[in-house]
Structure 1
Amino acid sequence: MFDTPFVFVVEAPEHACSKKQIKKDTTNLVRIQTSLFSIKLQFFEKFRIHKQKNYTEKA
């Protein structure tokens, strides 16, 4: 059926067998990524404002 010599072994933890749990895990991952992203954004925003202040002081 397939020409590929690859064998994919997927080890799923017991709790992940339920679709609800998988959905929950993905949602948590997305939440973590989103919060990390917002922290990065805040950091860059502060950095940008700080740079602007320096420029206005020099001018």
Structure 2
Amino acid sequence: MSEILPDHPQSRLHRLFDRNFLDYSAYVIREQAIPDIDDGLKPLTTLVRAGITALMQL
């Protein structure tokens, strides 16, 4: 297997990934995985419920 040199594009990609992974994972947890304090539902569940309610009113 070939060794990756420090100035190799793949090495830069790995550094970029390492820097941004923690920020991205924290964003996903905050915005998608934690239920809303108002209704106790996750964001996707809230969207589905709103869609079903809108369809029932047709």
Task: Tell me if both proteins adopt one fold, taking TM over 0.5 as the criterion.
Answer: no
| TM-score normalised according to structure 1 size | 0.39
| TM-score normalised according to structure 2 size | 0.39
Higher relative contact order (CA 8 A, sep 6+): 2
